[in-house]
Structures are given as C-alpha cells and as structure tokens.
Structure 1
C-alpha cells in the first residue's frame, strides 16, 4: 500500500497515530514504544512527534529499504518479532500494532509475544478491522480472522492480557476498532459476539454485485468509466471482473495519487456529456457524496447497494 500511494499512506499513518496517542493520553512513563508490523513506518514517525517518548522502534517483515535505519527518535528495521531477541527489543512501555493481528495464524501467540516485550506496567494498543457490521475487510485473502470484541478479549486472556479499554474509531477509520491491553486477568462483563449471518449477507451482496452492475449497464448503454483508483477500485477489479472489463478508464481528482490499476485520467464534469456511465469505486462511506456530485454534473452513477455499507 505505501508503494501505491505515499500521500495516502502518510494520511493513514497520521490518523492511526492520533488514535494511539488519544488512547494513551495521561499514561505516565512513556519512554520506549515498539510498533509491530509498522508498514512503511508512517505511524511510528507520527507517534514520535505526538508522544513524549525518547525512542520509537518499528518492525515489519516487508519494510521498504529506503526507510530502514535510524532517524531522530525512530529506528525502523525489517524482520519478525520472534527474531529480535536482544535486550534492546524488550522492556517497552508501549507496544503498538496496527492492522496486523488479523494476518497472523495464531492471534493469542501474537499477543503473547507482544506481552513479553512489555514492562510489567506497560500497555499494548491494537487496531484491527471490526466484525460488526460486516465490511470489506472480509474480502482480503490474507485476513485470517475477523474479531468481535468477545473474540479479541478471549485471545487476550489466553495471552495473559486483559482489555482495559475498547476504542471506537470514526470517520475514514469507522470500519476499524482498537483495544488497549494490560497484563493481568480479564475482568468485567462479557463482550458481545458477532452475528455470522451479518457476514453471510454482506458476502452475498458482493457475490451479486457484478451481475447487478452488468445488467444496469446493459440497460443504460454508453461508455463506462470508474471513479476511483485506490483500494476499493482494486477490490472491485477482483470481485466484479466483468464490470471492470467494460470500463475504458479510471478517473480521479488527483491522478498522481492513483494506484497502478490501469489507465487513469483527471475527472471532468464534461465526461458525462460524452456518454460515460460512471461506476463509483470509493469507500462505501463516501459513495453517496460522490454519486451526488456525479448527478449534479449531469452523469449517471452506479453505486454499491446499501447492503454493502462499509
């Protein structure tokens, strides 16, 4: 993802850093922080600016060469947590992991490895996709788990950690959740479990999307373009391939920030007078706003059904 759009990666890193910083507000002794699965290091760099820490370490098995090494308070390294056994990789005040645990085959083991790097009074902050309502995170082949709060608390308990705070994210991060964990036994009320029927309905809506859009395009006629050239466009390419094949091009407001998905051009309101029908390939949270804009420009937008809400 960082290789596709560095600007979007920085914005995402800053947004997650603010979530972590808010979650740790008021915690004393914020000296050393470890970011496990740090991606490009964007979140780690923003955390070094936002928090009163004297050292931030980031670790990722696919860390880009150009960002590895030390810069100010931040040290980024390529590798796996299990491979870092020296004393410099222990006794952290905070261990952070953003959108990594869902990729791990053993969530309890992953949390236990994080716990082993914490000081006795330290905290872990984990961000991962929500389970309810079902969302596009279910569509990524390398997401092995979708966590309800109950499931996450159970994995934490198996690792000797208790959830001390649950974080509700909003805005562009609305389909993610956060947890603050501390060492100790779980206490308090049992968290609700996810409803598997919700996920089944959501996946069925995606299964039907290609037929829905192709039938609509057959009725409308005309040329086809796709508004959007990021993650959601890539998902549509995978799950609505016949619709994708009918599109001549992708259009966006800033082509320089587009993923490498094919022909990309600047969106122009005059496109619609040239007979284009426009597939809206953006985060479903923004689909209504983009569709309204296209209609005001005189176009015919095709949007995801309301059953695809995130």
Structure 2
C-alpha cells in the first residue's frame, strides 16, 4: 500500500487524541527497549523516546513514505526507525506499543500471542485500534469495492473476500490478555467525535486510511471513478452538510509478570 503522510495528517488533532490516551495508560517504568509498531511518521515513537530517555526506542513501519517523513524529524539519540512488518517482529522488548496499526493484521488472538512472546518479563503491551468497521462510511466502501470487483481483483477489506474486521471488543481483548497471563489489565472503548463537512468530509477522512488499500490497487482513472461512486453513496446516506462522525476506538493494556 502507498501511504500519503500529508493526507493522513489532514486530521492530525482528531487522530492524535486516542494516541494521547494510550500514552497516558502506559505506566512509568524503567524500560530499556521499546518498539512502536506501525509508527507512521514517528510522532508517537518520538514522544516515547522523550518520555523514557533511558530506553532505546524503535519505530517500525512498512511504509517507506511514512518513514521518510519520520526520519526528517529532530534528531533524538535514543530513537531509530526501521522498515519492516509487524507480523515479522523479532527481538525482545520491555514495552510493545501499537497505536492504530494492528487493525491491518488478521487473527488478533494469534497476533497478541506472538507479540506477548516478544515481551520481556515485567514488560507492557499497549494497543489502540479503530473500531469503526460497522460505520456506514466503511460499509459503503465495501459496497463500492464490490461494484469494482473486476478492477480490484475481488479485494474487499471487510467483506467476503477477506472476512470481517479483525478488531475485537474490549472484553475479548481483556480475556485474551488474561489467558496469556497478563496482570493490571485495562480495556475500554471510547468515542472521539469528529464533525465533518458532509459526504465530502467523510471522503477526505477515509482517504487517509480506509481508502488506501483500494486506491493503491487501482489505476488513476479507475481510482477517480471509484471515488465518485463512493462519494455518491455517502451523499445518499449523509445528505446534510454536517456529519457527526463517532470515531470509535478500543484501547487495551496489560503487563507481563516478572516471573
């Protein structure tokens, strides 16, 4: 997928609020190695490096475009960035931090088990994922993808080709963490309201995230037709010039016992 950092940051304030809440859940400890999974343009990794200056912080992301912007930030001695996939994470860490990244990976029970194995005793796993897959903006995106099945090779992010969203409920994540032996578990759902200028605002919002895997698979001409069809579906559902978008997130955190 090809990510556009500028498009993603058009709603920087709204997208950063859940991240700040996740940071607030992370306890102050003597961390030595921290990894930020799906670090994007590096803001969260940089904050972790500044907050825990004694730790070595790794920002990991699969997007060269995002990492190029991350590397352009101010020099931070205990922070480095690498290109790589979350599923292939190696090494051991005292804090595994994942802000708005794990929703792109399937089978969260298996995924959490793999991440837990990379966590040192006494370490912390802190995660935040969007939970808007049942919102009309996403359901209409799937409908549009089905209209463009030939051009997309049958791909739909949330549909029959790839199954439902991998994102679980807070209760399910808490149960998974408990089964892994976690302690001090917190799991919650929170709505971060965003007011958008009608259907066009919803298009611009989703262009930074949910639309990316679709437009990355389409030619410029097909992409323009796809956007037009998606926009018309949104206009029919949201005819007003003001849309209250209930931006829903799941946050959870758990600690690994010392022994």
TM-score band by shorter chain is 0.5 to 0.7
Match of 2:111 in 1: 110
Indicate whether 1:230 and 2:204 are aligned. Answer: yes
TM-score scaled by length of structure 1: 0.50
Helix, strand or coil for the counterpart of 2:63?
Answer: coil
Helix, strand or coil for the counterpart of 2:113?
Answer: helix
Indicate whether 1:66 and 2:68 are aligned. Answer: yes
Query: Residue 165 of structure 1 is aligned with which of 186, 198, 202?
Result: 186
Indicate whether 1:15 and 2:17 are aligned. Answer: yes
Task: Provide closer, same or farther for how the CA distance between residues 168 and 148 of structure 1 changes in structure 2, counting only shifts above 3 A.
Answer: closer
Structure ranking higher on relative contact order (CA contacts 8 Å, 6+ apart): 2
Helix, strand or coil for the counterpart of 1:171?
Answer: strand
- Report the Cα offset of residue 97 of structure 1: 1.0
Match of 1:178 in 2: none
Task: Provide closer, same or farther for how the CA distance between residues 74 and 17 of structure 1 changes in structure 2, counting only shifts above 3 A.
Answer: farther
Deviation by residue 1:191-241 (Cα, 9 ceiling, x = unmatched): xxxxxxxxxxxxxxxxxxxxxxxxxxxxxxxxxx96536215887856453
- Report the Cα offset of residue 33 of structure 1: 1.6
- Structural RMSD (CA): 3.9
Preserved CA contact (<8 Å) 2:40 2:70: no
For 2:15 and 2:32, locate their aligned partners in 1 and report how far apart those are by CA, in whole Å.
21
For 1:31 and 1:5, locate their aligned partners in 2 and report how far apart those are by CA, in whole Å.
34
Preserved CA contact (<8 Å) 1:2 1:40: no
Larger CA Rg, structure 1 vs 2: 1
Indicate whether 1:284 and 2:258 are aligned. Answer: no
TM-score scaled by length of structure 2: 0.58
Task: Provide closer, same or farther for how the CA distance between residues 152 and 172 of structure 1 changes in structure 2, counting only shifts above 3 A.
Answer: same
The number of residue pairs the alignment matches comes to 197
Name stretches of at least 5 consecutive residues in structure 2 with no aligned partner.
142-155, 159-164, 212-226, 248-259
For 2:204 and 2:242, locate their aligned partners in 1 and report how far apart those are by CA, in whole Å.
8
- Report the Cα offset of residue 123 of structure 1: 0.8
Indicate whether 1:75 and 2:76 are aligned. Answer: no
